[in-house]
Structure 1
Amino acid sequence: MPPPLAAHLIRTGALSPTPEPTPWDAPLPAPTPAASWGGAEHPAGLTRVTGPFSTAAAVALATTWSITRVARRKHAMNRLIRALEASSSATCRPASTSEASEAVLAVRRTAWHAPVRTACLEESAAATFLLATRRLSVVWCHGIAADPVRLHAWVQTVDGDLVAEPPSTRAYTPALTIGARHQHRL
């Protein structure tokens, strides 16, 4: 009898039992991508923030920080996912690319004034919340790129257009998307 985890993986089809152990195929060679933590695409430093400070974006950022820090840290992502699902369920129509871009950029501008961490997870969630207050939907994405493993969160329109993101975001495979309920109504 296999251990409980192996039995579960076999039941779900994630593993296939074999009569004898067989080695995996050798990995395919590929060029090593340069490590990136966003610094090459979004220059940081002492720069003048342009554009107006947005009170609505500040509230959306505060909401995001509250959700992720209000209770036990190990459940922070689950709380954020539930809040994103709830906010996207209250939307009436898809946001246009310009509406979504305006929200993402408002959050980024406002985050420059914040004394706490604001990275892609906080920015994308806050932009999604900000648009939901206007009853506009976008697709919130959380994805992964391999070798080296990198995580990223971003917003895209229901048509799949990236919102205020560099083309390199296409290197990430979405592992979780929230908010595509209007996709079939277009």
Structure 2
Amino acid sequence: MTAPRLPRRAWVGTGHAHIEVDYAHGRVVLHPPATPVPPDAVLHTREVSAPSWGTSELDAVLTLAPPAPRRWKAAALLATAATATVLLCGRRHRRLARLARLAAIGHRLAAADPGQATHAVRAARWAGRLLPARWACLEESVTAAVALAVAGRGAHWHHGVATDPVRLHAWIASPDGNPVEEPPSTGAYTTTHTVRRPRRTP
């Protein structure tokens, strides 16, 4: 199985603006709706009926991570070290691309089931809180993907953008494409890159 190639840049059209996720240079750019889509961009469409001008509310409470089995915590500690190494070694503007490629480390392995994915995500969040540094959704989700690879399983890793307000998120999904250990607000994100396609349902 070949991992989906990391796009140089993804382009999300909303009808009100264009959002460019530049994976090659690690930046996000907001463009007017009349801006033409570059030929090398992967186009995604997410229509927004009307902009909220930033008035929509989102939960911002840091909840306690549910417990994970010890063996998953051990895998998460190794995965956290690997993720931190890849994050810090290399040019700063290439961090997003490096971490996205690291998340694909287990793409040739059998897909993790929902229970395994849940354990990996919980363990990754537990390990991340041991670090005296910023460790957000990108780092946590990549750590979970690496922890699954340590356990011999492949992750459904997703990276995406929400349009109103504009924000990025990364998460682990189940084989059916459902976000694992994520709030309902994750449905507001358009996936711009994934390392494993969700299986088709009949």
Shared fold (TM-score, shorter chain, > 0.5):
yes
Q: Which has the larger radius of gyration?
A: 1
Aligned to 2:173: 156
How do 1:10-89 residues align onto structure 2 when only pairs under 5 Å count?
12=39, 28-32=49-53, 33-34=55-56, 36=58, 39-40=60-61, 42-43=62-63, 54-85=73-104, 87-89=105-107
Q: Which residue of 1 aligns with 2:128?
A: 111
Instruction: Please tell me whether residue 120 in structure 1 is matched to residue 137 in structure 2.
Output: yes
- The corresponding residue for 1:5 is none
Report the counterpart of residue 199 of structure 2 in structure 1: 183
List runs of 5+ in structure 1 lacking aligned partners: 1-8, 15-26
Cα distance change of structure 1 residues 159 and 71 upon mapping to structure 2, 3 Å threshold: same
Does the C-alpha gap of structure 1 residues 132 and 48 become closer, same or farther in structure 2, counting only changes over 3 Å?
A: closer
Q: Measure, in 1, the Cα distance between the counterparts of 2:79 and 2:152.
A: 14
The Cα shift of 1:29 comes to 3.0
| Secondary structure, aligned partner of 1:88 | coil
Residues 75 and 151 in structure 2, CA contact (< 8 A), matched pair in contact too: no
Looking at structure 2, the residues matched to 65 and 130 of structure 1 have their Cα atoms a distance apart, in angstroms, of 13
What whole-Å deviation, never above 9, does each CA across 1:69-128 have from its counterpart, x for those lacking one?
11111111122222223x12331x221111100110011112221112211001100000
Higher normalized helix content (fraction of residues): 1
What CA RMSD, in Å, does the superposition of the two structures yield over aligned residues? 3.0
Extract unaligned runs of 5+ from structure 2: 1-35, 42-47
2:155 equivalent to 1:138:
yes
2: CA distance between counterparts of 1:153 and 1:169? 9
Q: TM-score, normalised by structure 2?
A: 0.67
Matched residue pairs, number? Answer: 157
Once residues 89 and 65 of structure 1 are traced to their aligned partners in structure 2, the CA distance between those partners, rounded to angstroms, is 20
d(CA) in 1 for partners of 2:189 and 2:120?
Answer: 22
Given the superposition, is the C-alpha separation of residues 28 and 39 from structure 1 closer, same or farther in structure 2, using an over 3 Å criterion?
closer
Does the 8 Å CA contact 1:88/1:178 hold for their aligned counterparts? Answer: no
Give the structure with the higher percent strand: 2
Cα distance change, pair 114–145 in 1 and its aligned pair in 2 (3 A): same
Q: Distance in 1 between matches of 2:37 and 2:180?
A: 40
Q: Secondary structure of the residue that 2:116 maps to in structure 1?
A: helix
User: Which position in structure 2 is the counterpart of 1:169?
Assistant: 186
